[in-house]
């Protein structure tokens, strides 16, 4: 373990149980909309591709998240494990948000994650599409913060 980094269990190599746990921990953190908290899950030299934007450090990832949540208001996210092996996890996700004009969107996509031995994400590759929706078409209706355990997941919602 590096002197500058902390360990973020669960650690690779992942099992079905630990990969599922890692995905839920990531979902919970992103639903906090706290860039400082979320950024701590990434290695100092993390490399991201998020749509057409690239980050090459934890500091750049944090700055990206600050910009994201200033634009994407009332953000609610669900992540689901798709596949895993060794130190890698693939997820699919959907999130709902609106802009400052009140236009609602459901963004959906896939992420590929690669972790270092300390459980910090060193690579995040995200492909995301935005679908304009009416407010009445929203499916994510919980208070800001962690998705309640009883709230349906992506498969249950037909996403």
Total count of domains within the chain? 1
Rounded Cα distance, 63 and 125, in Å: 17
Q: What is the mean pLDDT of the chain?
A: 96
Structural domain of 44:
16-137
Q: What is the pLDDT of residues 80-107, one digit of tens each?
A: 999 999 999 999 999 999 999 999 999 9
Confidence category of residue 5, pLDDT binned at 50, 70, 90: low
In a domain, residue 144? The reply is: no
Residue 100 domain flag? yes
Question: Using CA of residue 63, residue 153, residue 117, residue 29, what is the dihedral sign?
Answer: positive
- As to burial, measured by CB atoms within 10 angstroms (0-12 exposed, 13-18 middle, 19+ buried), residue 97 is buried
Q: 66: domain CATH number?
A: 3.10.450.50
Question: Nearest Cα to 27, choosing from 72, 84, 79?
Answer: 79
Classify residue 11: in a domain, yes or no: no
Q: What is the DSSP string of 59-72?
A: HHHHHHHHHHHHHS
In a domain, 151, yes or no: no
> First-to-last CA distance in the chain?
38
pLDDT digits (tens, 9 = 90+) for 15-34: 999 999 999 999 999 999 99
pLDDT interval class at 158 (50, 70, 90): very high
Q: Does 4 fall in a domain?
A: no
Residue 99 lies in a domain: yes
pLDDT at 4: 52
- The answer to whether residue 109 is domain-embedded is yes
User: In whole angstroms, how far apart are CA 94 and each of 5, 27, 126, 158?
Assistant: 30, 11, 12, 11
């Amino acid at each position: 373990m590096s002197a500058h980094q902390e360990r973020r269990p669960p650690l690779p190599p992942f099992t079905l149980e630990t990969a599922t746990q890692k995905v839920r921990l990531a979902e919970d953190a992103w639903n906090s909309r706290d860039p400082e908290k979320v950024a701590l899950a990434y290695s100092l030299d993390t490399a991201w591709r998020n749509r057409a934007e690239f980050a090459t450090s934890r500091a750049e990832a944090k700055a990206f998240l600050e910009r994201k949540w200033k634009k994407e208001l009332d953000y609610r996210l669900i992540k689901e494990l798709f596949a895993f092996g060794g130190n890698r996890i693939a997820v699919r996700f959907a999130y709902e948000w609106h802009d400052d004009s009140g236009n609602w969107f459901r963004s959906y996509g896939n992420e590929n994650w690669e972790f270092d031995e300390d459980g910090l994400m060193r690579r995040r590759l995200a492909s995301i599409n935005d679908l304009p929706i009416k407010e009445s078409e929203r499916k994510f209706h919980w208070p800001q913060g962690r998705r309640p355990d009883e709230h349906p997941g992506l498969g249950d919602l037909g996403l």
